[in-house]
Amino acid sequence: MRTLHVKTATADYPVYIGRNLLAQIPRNKAVAGRRAFVLTSPEIWALWGKNLLAAFSRNQQPTVLFLPAGERHKRLAQIERLASELAQAGADRSSLLIAFGGGIIGDLGGFLAAVYMRGIDYLQVPTTLLAQVDSSVGGKTGVNLASGKNLIGSFHHPRAVFADVDVLQTLPEHELRAGLFESIKAGIIRDAALFRYMEQNSASILARDSAALEHVIVASIRMKAGVVAIDERESGLRMILNYGHTLGHAIEAATGYRTLLHGEAIAWGMLAALQIALARRTVGPDQAERIEQTILAYGPLPPFRATPAQLLAAAGRDKKNRAGTRRFILPKGIGNAIVVEDATDAELNSAIRWMLARARMGR
């Protein structure tokens, strides 16, 4: 087992990465002696619920709450329903919530913990690779509005994160690949060594070799923890973590959150942003080719349909925008990224049209 620490101005908590970690959760000091509630999805519970329950003693069995799978359920209505269930079950300010699932469970569960009784403690126990390498770390929580993704939320850090590599063995293939796109992003923006590892070891990683996956998870979390330590509230450096997300979120919104997984949309967004970087010469053609080929090596990327107008309008509602200024993240060579504030509609339209032409072919 590896242990990393996320340290910010307001939080300090461990991230455990390894195998058979579900069995260790009840013995953690953040859990011992507390009334625990588990928020999960029916699908995850069917696969791993018995393993988690078996780790708790008979007198410490947690109460289980369910959220239906799917991005369309990541809404305030579910927060109200789940908060009511917590209250009816007797949850108080000393209770602990365990978010046991993918990124939707983690985001919504963290926000539920942030607002229930003005804040209770929670654990992140991510069961998808994407959640393990990205959304479970850093304290961002939230739910969606019809007009955009994660527009309601708060910063609320977990007491600990348990990234169990074993649970990835039951992850559907497309969800594994979706998570790997986020790790490629981590390499592109700040960790050239991670990028090279993923560039050179795609076969073992896609084969779910435990050591290879653990290497990717540890490096991805270490990168993000380092960024969050410097910029907890996304006032500067942390914005680079959103490489590919402006257009990725736009794709999700334009397709009703039903066509692509989050990581797949981000992969398309990274490829489109790469076209702007090439045009601006912030990245050279050789490195751009390596970036594109590595992303595609973890594909295939699913096709989708949207119009340039839909995507441009959705990009205009991105949370990174400030006072009418569009902020956009571009790679500046492998292992480095910059935030630009002058991305034009013409640049975005060109990148969007390039992306849509590729997406229609499913490439």
* Choice among 149, 156, 190, 224 that is catalytic: 224
* Choice among 149, 177, 262, 332 that is catalytic: 262
Q: Tell me whether residue 2 is one of the annotated catalytic residues.
A: no
* Choice among 144, 156, 175, 242 that is catalytic: 242
* Choice among 157, 177, 249, 319 that is catalytic: 249
Q: Tell me whether residue 118 is one of the annotated catalytic residues.
A: yes
Name the pairing type of β-strands 160-164 and 12-18. parallel
* Choice among 149, 156, 215, 238 that is catalytic: 238
* Choice among 175, 234, 252, 347 that is catalytic: 234
Q: Tell me whether residue 182 is one of the annotated catalytic residues.
A: yes
CA–CA separation, 270 and 31 (whole Å) = 39
Question: Cβ of 44: how many Cβ atoms within 10 Å?
Answer: 23
* Choice among 245, 319, 320, 332 that is catalytic: 245
Name the pairing type of β-strands 328-331 and 337-340. antiparallel
Q: Tell me whether residue 238 is one of the annotated catalytic residues.
A: yes
* Choice among 29, 58, 118, 281 that is catalytic: 118
The set of long-range contacts for 197-206, using a CB threshold of 8 Å and a minimum separation of 24, is 198/294, 198/298, 199/290, 199/294, 199/297, 202/294, 202/297, 202/298, 205/180, 206/176, 206/177, 206/180, 206/298
What is the token pair recorded at 355?
């992306």
What's the gap between Cα 139 and its chain centre?
A: 11
**Residues 36 and 27 sit within 8 Å (Cβ to Cβ):** no
DSSP string, 52-75: HHHHS-GGGPPEEEE--SSGGG-S
Q: Tell me whether residue 5 is one of the annotated catalytic residues.
A: no
DSSP string, 339-358: EES---HHHHHHHHHHHHHH
Question: Cβ of 281: how many Cβ atoms within 10 Å?
Answer: 8
Q: Tell me whether residue 262 is one of the annotated catalytic residues.
A: yes
Q: Give catalytic residues, as residue numbers.
A: 118, 140, 182, 224, 234, 238, 242, 245, 249, 262
